[in-house]
Amino acid sequence: MLFRQLEYFVAVARERHFARAAEACFVSQPALSTAIAKLERELNVMLINRGHNFEGLTPEGERLVVWAKRILAEHDTFKTEVAAMRSGITGTLRLGTEPTVSTVTGLPVAAFCATHPLARVKVCAGLSAAELRRRLRDFELDAAIAHFAPDEREGLEVMPLYRERYVLIVSGEQLVPGGDPIGWAEAAQLPLALLTPDLKFRQLIDAAFARTGLAPTPQVEADSLATLYALVATGSWVGVVPQTWLRTMPMTAGMRALPLVDPEAGAGLGSGAGSGAAPGLEPEPAGREEISLAINAGRPGSVLARAFLRAAVGLALDERLGAQGRDLARARQAA
């Protein structure tokens, strides 16, 4: 059995088409088919149901593809580790993020690249939470930054990075006069423009509203934060965005960001003792959601993934981003 045979077999399982798999592997289709047929003879099992076209994997093939992905991942890890011993960490880190946490990604990527200048990073920022988890488990990503609920962590090693804070963005004074913090229950009564329900961040927003006993009914929904900003800038709607987006998407003329707070719901969610709130400032926003870095839990695991994990955890992002939020609050009070 050769690694090349396993690579071809995994490609066919992924593409579900012999010609596309051959193209992905940069070989001719006859060469790919011959290699897989030889693998079947060596194992003395049929791996693929064949007709005029690919018709799926046999039960034995479904089992082998799991092992093949693991074997190939371990093989890549071994090559990377040998190269790292010789000249430092090289290779390409495949990093996935949810769209709404992508603005923070640059911080750990910069720290990783500064420590490992020979390494490269490929960031996929448009993946859903479910797709991130699937690609991590199938060794198609080395690491991912997202919100991982406790029941979504099977097969993953998850390390908390920071807790996201929410803000209400408004334009002008007609919808929300003044600059005081606003409660979730009050925000639910305003004309809302929110992200679409398929996005993880929208689901977290809905959960935060639900803790007040209300459900938001947005008039407009968008699948990107950039579009959401443009909608709010018209002055017709307000929106809810992660505070971290204010770092890279500053308010346009006339727009403001107001902390979303709920003192009653926030007792165990960031307000009060131990929350890190500065004296004299408003309570921390309720419903702060934990954003984490996840890698495949298999051992020894990807050298690149573990190096990136060390770089990200060493940044103490929660403290750093929390301080930036308090600076924004002070600036608002002084204005």
pLDDT beyond 60 at 274: no
Q: What average pLDDT does the segment 217-232 reach? A: 90
Peptide bond into 216 cis (omega under 30): no
- Crossing angle, helix 29-43 and helix 18-25, to 10 degrees? 100
pLDDT beyond 90 at 194: yes
Its pTM surpasses 0.85: no
**Parts of the chain belonging to CATH 1.10.10.10:** 3-74
Q: 3-state class of 273 per DSSP?
A: coil
Q: What average pLDDT does the segment 203-231 reach? A: 88
Q: What percent of the chain stands above pLDDT 90? A: 26
Q: According to the model, what pLDDT value does residue 326 have?
A: 59
Alpha-carbon 149 to chain mean position: 12
pLDDT averaged over every residue in the chain: 81
How many of the other CB atoms lie within 10 Å of CB of 46? Answer: 13
**Parts of the chain belonging to CATH 3.40.190.290:** 166-287
CA distance 114 to 126: 25
- State the fold for domain 3-74: Arc Repressor Mutant, subunit A (1.10.10)
Q: According to the model, what pLDDT value does residue 281 have?
A: 33
Q: What average pLDDT does the segment 149-173 reach? A: 90
Q: What average pLDDT does the segment 214-225 reach? A: 89
pLDDT beyond 50 at 279: no
Residue 69 and residue 298 in contact, taking contact as beta carbons nearer than 8 Å? no
**Parts of the chain belonging to CATH 3.40.190.10:** 88-163+290-319
Amino acid at position 86, single letter: R
Q: What is the pLDDT of residues 39-89, one digit of tens each?
A: 988 888 889 888 767 888 898 888 888 888 888 877 777 776 666 655 678
Q: What average pLDDT does the segment 269-282 reach? A: 33
DSSP type of residue 251: P
DSSP type of residue 166: E
Q: 3-state class of 40 per DSSP?
A: helix
* Antiparallel, parallel or unpaired: β 143-146 and 92-97: parallel
Q: Specify the CATH architecture of the domain 88-163+290-319.
A: 3-Layer(aba) Sandwich (3.40)
* Antiparallel, parallel or unpaired: β 220-222 and 48-50: unpaired
Q: What average pLDDT does the segment 109-133 reach? A: 91
Q: What's 166-287's CATH class? A: alpha beta
Q: 3-state class of 28 per DSSP?
A: coil
pLDDT band at 270 (very low <50, low <70, confident <90, very high): very low
